[in-house]
Structure 1
């Protein structure tokens, strides 16, 4: 049973809830609805329902509903777009730190210290972006003020803070330092052109994500739209008791409070999440995101390169091995074709690709009954063109073959 009601525990939490925001207005509308109900019970001859015709109008209800939905959807689009922009910032910073750490792993001395300063500047970049969007002071980057930002282990040189204060756009100034460092290391030969282009592409994506955040922060909802929505909501909640008093009587104040609470909560959601870069509970968790980047950069700086130790592989000398360890098939094959064993082969031993050459020293019996099978002294293959030129004085070359078992040929 406790499992089914576990989702209702958050209803009693005031942190992040809109109840404290809309409660004063809900109480006012409830008291006003109760007064209308009391007035209707006391002065029964007065017809107050005429004032509630506006709330019963379909056009008025439809316009108010569309305005509330459009307000909420627009605010959530801004919130989600800001979250995607910060996701791009985190992804690109991680990739850039990884490439800087791996491509410049062989640096030593001052070059290594400069590389570590650039890596540390990327963690400063994400914190400066947060302060820039919240219109905060860069003095918060000092060690004494980092606790207020919820940050730990962020190393910032005082001269860096002075340079950032002089810049109009501190996050963009840090990205300019990174681009200059990539150009210098490429000119020094520590990076090739492909590596520099890959890391410059990541810097460009950081600039693009920063621009998206600036666009969201610098483009609020139009004031005319917000004022119109607030005015319509106020009129609807004030005229609602006059439409309910005839049927509800003394319960008009309670029902009015409930309906106004729903409308005001929907309107407050849009007002709360339209600026996702603030410090409120319902805004993006920028402090946690910044702390994750700071920890990742510190780990990348102190991480030692991992070296794989491989044992040297030696090739054994086959000539030094004893004869007993040699392969048993080594003696099964002759070294040259002249070393092939010579034996008398019958026509059954010859392949199908050629005809057997007979030894003319043995004269067979011309009669069919006395025809005998000639003997061969050297196996070889003779092609059709060679068999047609047997009458010439030139002898055809012979080629040794491995003795194989073939089907029987007809006896000549």
Structure 2
């Protein structure tokens, strides 16, 4: 898989250079080695003055300009095809990630729309469990559908992907799914049918305009799936591939003669011929045109399915049912929040995690027990400011002074809670 090599992508070392899994060098070397051997023999025959070969090379004349022009044309074709393969690879990777995101968004929306439902708890639990299992099956089947068509339907490697408690679905549905030709579309239809049925049963309590969001995300993921099918099923046009391959063969035949006429040593001739052919074949024989399947450079669908299952299981976790509330120590003054942001005094996650760890060790409630010296100085300044504003309020009008006292008091309590 392509992610097997991703750990080496940031390492500029011999480990990455000599990594052969998914490399183009093994096959390119098989093509370049005969070319280098032919060039070595021809140059050796010229140097040693073998009768027949040396005479043939003496009569063989080719302008280097013609060969360079031919090599330039071939290089343009090869680089163009490599660029198209690179674009297809990243388009496939982008679409699969967007597909997973859309379907998770749809699953999250469907489950969140049941929070205010008055239906029976057992029915709600069953509905959420079925939705999560079907979305896991939908994602796994879509990855299997994108796999190459070389194998039979039951022998697809992606059918080994794990789904969330697949045996929890009834036997009749599983048998129907196995016999269906369009498995992805069938599970997609099941999800839509279950959502429609839940509306009549009172399980889905959200208004109809809000429910359309789930349908929109579900359909958007299906569109991304069919865009991936376009990449998986439609190959590079055959005439272009055939023309490029023909030019590569001609280049392979001409390279030994040109290296023989342009060098003085058999070893140098062999090295240059090998480098020429290896570079051309290394670019041409890349396996990036179809990123789906079980090849070494294909996308890691196992990791994708594992990632999707983890996100779907989060929807069933009791922690996802918790709705965040304010702690009581929040900053209520908007101007104070703006000032803290300008001075870069907002707490980061590492600070909050350390505070939580310290509070757990002390066995107390979740309170803000640690304050920076900056906050303490600002608290003292606010306290003095509140006293001066209180004095001005007593000397001036009662209304504005009272409002300023209350505002300053809230800020003071913010930094010195009881």
Q: TM-score, structure 1 length as denominator?
A: 0.66
Q: Which structure 1 residue ranges, 5 or more long, are not aligned?
A: 312-328, 330-412
Which of 27, 31, 52 is the aligned partner of 2:37? 31
Q: Which residue of 1 aligns with 2:313?
A: 298
3-state SS of paired residue (1:273)? coil
Q: Does 1:16 align with 2:22?
A: yes
Aligned residues: CA RMSD: 3.1
Normalized per residue, which structure has more helix? 2
Change (3 A) 1:57 1:250: closer
Mean Cα displacement is larger for which, 183-192 or 288-297? 183-192
3-state SS of paired residue (1:57)? helix
Q: Which structure 2 residue ranges, 5 or more long, are not aligned?
A: 1-9, 328-392, 394-418
Which of 109, 113, 119 is the aligned partner of 2:132? 119
Which of 160, 164, 185 is the aligned partner of 2:177? 164
Q: Which residue of 2 aligns with 1:195?
A: 210
CA contact (8 A) 1:67 1:229 kept: yes
3-state SS of paired residue (2:166)? coil
Q: Which residue of 2 aligns with 1:254?
A: 271
Structure 1 residue 53: Cα displacement = 4.1
Q: Which residue of 2 aligns with 1:221?
A: 236
Which of 297, 321, 324 is the aligned partner of 1:282? 297
Which of 233, 246, 250 is the aligned partner of 1:231? 246
CA deviation string 1:12-34 (max 9, x = no partner):
11122112122211111111111
Which of 66, 77, 94 is the aligned partner of 2:87? 77
Q: Does 1:92 align with 2:92?
A: no
CA contact (8 A) 1:49 1:243 kept: no
3-state SS of paired residue (1:151)? coil
CA distance in 2, matches of 1:114, 1:131: 26
Mean Cα displacement is larger for which, 150-159 or 75-84? 150-159
CA contact (8 A) 1:96 1:199 kept: yes
CA contact (8 A) 2:177 2:183 kept: yes
Q: Which residue of 2 aligns with 1:149?
A: 160
Change (3 A) 1:152 1:193: closer
Rg comparison, structure with higher value: 1
CA contact (8 A) 2:35 2:255 kept: no
CA distance in 1, matches of 2:27, 2:290: 17
Q: Which residue of 1 aligns with 2:5?
A: none
Q: TM-score, structure 2 length as denominator?
A: 0.66
Q: Does 1:62 align with 2:72?
A: yes
CA distance in 2, matches of 1:187, 1:49: 90
Structure 1 residue 48: Cα displacement = 5.1
CA contact (8 A) 1:138 1:161 kept: no
Structure 1 residue 276: Cα displacement = 0.6
Structure 1 residue 128: Cα displacement = 0.3
Change (3 A) 1:5 1:74: closer
Which of 26, 36, 46 is the aligned partner of 2:56? 46
CA distance in 2, matches of 1:278, 1:284: 7
CA deviation string 1:17-72 (max 9, x = no partner):
11212221111111111121122222444335736548843442232012101111
